């Protein structure tokens, strides 16, 4: 177990502009998310001395955000590893807090992707020996992984559709979710193909939205209005940038990031009360459940079948509806953290899980490139 276990906690979360926020810029949505997270924590802007921001549209995101917010952070991190940036920020923020480099760490994100672009933000630069072939990135990269998983393990499109249907069923319980009407397996299978074997309904939403979380050291966290949600473990790993360089298209670096997080937390997958993972595409959920040890490699398709990850199923996965049905503004990584916090606080309304004490949160960035895992727990989980 690492010295970081339980040393820091999330004390505030905020969401803004989920769904569609025409007329709002990315930084405005980010700032509104940050304000709500600070309100939730009972803190002021002036309390923030650690700032962690990643953006698809800003080259120097912490500088831009700090100026906008009118703060002067003494520690900052603008690491850009795609959608996994936010789970990576949690680990860096915990280190900075624990080292005394800052006292209040704000992680924030905002995007107007739906209103501004109406399409997925492509990787910022064409990759060597990739762009010339015109894959529809990032979708094609995930399609290539899907095709290989189907070939190696017999995973079926119906099993992939189970992931989308389960996400939609959770979204039906979440008033904030963008797509809430029930979805059937057949609808997923019959949706237009985008990059075979992925159909439109195997792909995440394109929405606007922002989110923010505030972390403090555990001792200070206990003085905040809401119950602290402790960081018990975290780890990150990345093995490739472009999909052709991924060593095995069916095994992600989540095997490494997850192992690091479990080791720090002193808890394994059998102790996780929920999983909030980055489901940009239906294959993600299957790959990550395998790589994070919830089932064996190759068995993810069977594992998610029969409503097993839907409400009332064996394992609660993406209880907000995920990137597939709740919100996906360019990068999704901040949102699974916020959903885990709301669940662990008992604030999740109709979708609230009973007796939830632990949560695994998993971020994914690039084209299955960067993986970052966090394990959170309540006071009861911390002292158990």
Partner 1 sequence: MAQTRVTMMNDPITQGAGPEARYRDFLSEGRFMIQRSASTGKHVFYPRTMAPGTGQTDLEWVEASGRGTVYSFSTVRRSASEGGDHNIAIVELAEGPRTMTRVIGCEPDEVFIGMEVSARIDEQDGEPIVFFVAAPNGDKT
Query: Which residue from 265, 219, 263 is spatially nearest to 359, judged by alpha carbons?
Result: 265
Tokens standing for 2? 């690492």
Which one among 132, 312, 354, 355 touches partner 1, defined by CB under 8 A? 132
- What's the min distance (Å) between Cβ of 370 and partner 1? 17
- Residue 252 within binding range of partner 1, rule CB under 8 A: no
- Residue 23 within binding range of partner 1, rule CB under 8 A: no
- Residue 155 within binding range of partner 1, rule CB under 8 A: no
Strand partners, 246: none
Q: Alpha helices, DSSP H only, in 241-375?
A: 254-265, 282-291, 300-304, 322-325, 334-345
Query: What distance in Å separates the CA atoms of residue 231 and residue 215, rounded to the nearest whole number?
Result: 9
Which one among 25, 28, 116, 148 touches partner 1, defined by CB under 8 A? 148
Contact range with partner 1 by CB under 8 A, out of 7-15, 82-90, 146-154, 230-238: 146-154
- Residue 190 within binding range of partner 1, rule CB under 8 A: no
Q: Pseudo-torsion of CA 68, 71, 76, 78, nearest 10°?
A: 0
Binding mask 210-249 toward partner 1 (x if CB under 8 A, else -) reads: --------------------------------xxxx---x
Contact 49, 103 (CB under 8 A): yes
- Residue 143 within binding range of partner 1, rule CB under 8 A: yes
CA 3 to chain centre: 24
- Residue 17 within binding range of partner 1, rule CB under 8 A: no
Query: Which residue from 294, 288, 278, 289 is spatially nearest to 332, judged by alpha carbons?
Result: 278
Which one among 20, 22, 44, 129 touches partner 1, defined by CB under 8 A? 129
- Residue 189 within binding range of partner 1, rule CB under 8 A: no
- What's the min distance (Å) between Cβ of 240 and partner 1? 10
- Residue 145 within binding range of partner 1, rule CB under 8 A: yes
Contact 280, 332 (CB under 8 A): yes
Backbone angles phi, psi at 264, to 5 degrees: -65, -40
* CA distance readout (Å), 220 to 86, 138, 215, 230: 22, 41, 10, 12
Binding mask 49-88 toward partner 1 (x if CB under 8 A, else -) reads: ----------------------------------------
- Residue 202 within binding range of partner 1, rule CB under 8 A: no
Q: Which is nearer to partner 1, 121 or 173 (CB)?
A: 121
- Residue 118 within binding range of partner 1, rule CB under 8 A: no
Strand partners, 13: 213
Which one among 44, 67, 186, 196 touches partner 1, defined by CB under 8 A? 196
Contact range with partner 1 by CB under 8 A, out of 5-13, 32-40, 137-145, 177-185: 137-145
Tokens standing for 334? 């901040």
Residues 305-344 that bind partner 1 (CB under 8 A): none
Contact 8, 218 (CB under 8 A): yes
- What's the min distance (Å) between Cβ of 127 and partner 1? 8
Burial 28-56 (b: 16+ CB within 10 A, else e): bbbbbbbbbbbebbebeeeebbbbbbbbb
Which one among 14, 110, 138, 197 touches partner 1, defined by CB under 8 A? 197
Q: Would you tell me which residues interact with partner 1 (CB under 8 A)?
A: 128-130, 132-136, 140, 143-145, 147-148, 151, 192-198, 242-245, 249
């Amino acid at each position: 177990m690492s010295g970081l276990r339980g040393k820091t906690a999330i004390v505030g979360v905020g969401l803004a502009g989920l769904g569609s926020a025409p007329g709002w810029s990315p930084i405005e949505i980010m700032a509104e998310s940050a304000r709500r997270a600070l309100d939730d924590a009972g803190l002021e802007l002036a309390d923030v001395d650690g700032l962690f921001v990643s953006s698809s549209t800003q080259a120097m995101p912490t500088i831009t955000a700090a100026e906008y917010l009118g703060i002067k952070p003494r520690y900052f991190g603008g690491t850009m590893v795609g959608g996994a940036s936010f789970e990576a920020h949690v680990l860096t923020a915990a280190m900075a807090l624990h080292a005394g480099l800052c006292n209040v760490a704000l992680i924030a994100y905002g995007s107007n992707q739906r209103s501004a672009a109406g399409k997925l933000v492509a990787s910022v630069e064409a990759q060597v020996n990739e762009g010339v072939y015109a894959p529809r990135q990032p979708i094609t990269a995930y399609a290539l992984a899907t095709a290989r998983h189907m070939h190696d393990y017999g995973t079926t499109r119906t099993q992939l559709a189970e992931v989308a249907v389960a996400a939609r069923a959770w979204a039906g319980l979440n008033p904030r979710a963008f797509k809430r009407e029930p979805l059937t397996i057949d609808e997923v299978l019959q949706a237009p193909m985008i990059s075979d074997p992925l159909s439109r309904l195997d792909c995440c939403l394109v929405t606007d939205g922002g989110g923010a979380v505030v972390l403090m050291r555990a001792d200070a966290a206990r003085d905040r209005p809401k119950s602290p949600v402790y960081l018990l473990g975290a780890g990150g790993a990345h093995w490739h940038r472009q999909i052709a360089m991924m060593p095995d298209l069916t095994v992600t670096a989540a095997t490494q990031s997850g192992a690091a997080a479990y080791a720090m937390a002193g808890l394994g997958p059998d102790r996780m009360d929920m999983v909030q993972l980055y489901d940009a595409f239906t294959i993600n959920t299957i790959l990550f459940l395998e790589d994070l040890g919830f089932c064996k490699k190759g068995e993810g398709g069977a594992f998610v079948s029969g409503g097993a990850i839907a409400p009332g199923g064996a394992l609660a996965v993406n209880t907000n509806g995920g990137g597939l049905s709740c919100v996906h503004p360019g990068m999704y990584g901040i949102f699974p953290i916020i959903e885990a916090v709301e669940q662990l606080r008992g604030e999740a309304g109709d979708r609230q899980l009973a007796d939830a004490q632990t949560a695994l949160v998993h971020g994914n960035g690039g084209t299955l490139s960067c993986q970052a895992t966090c394990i959170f727990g309540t006071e009861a989980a911390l002292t158990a």
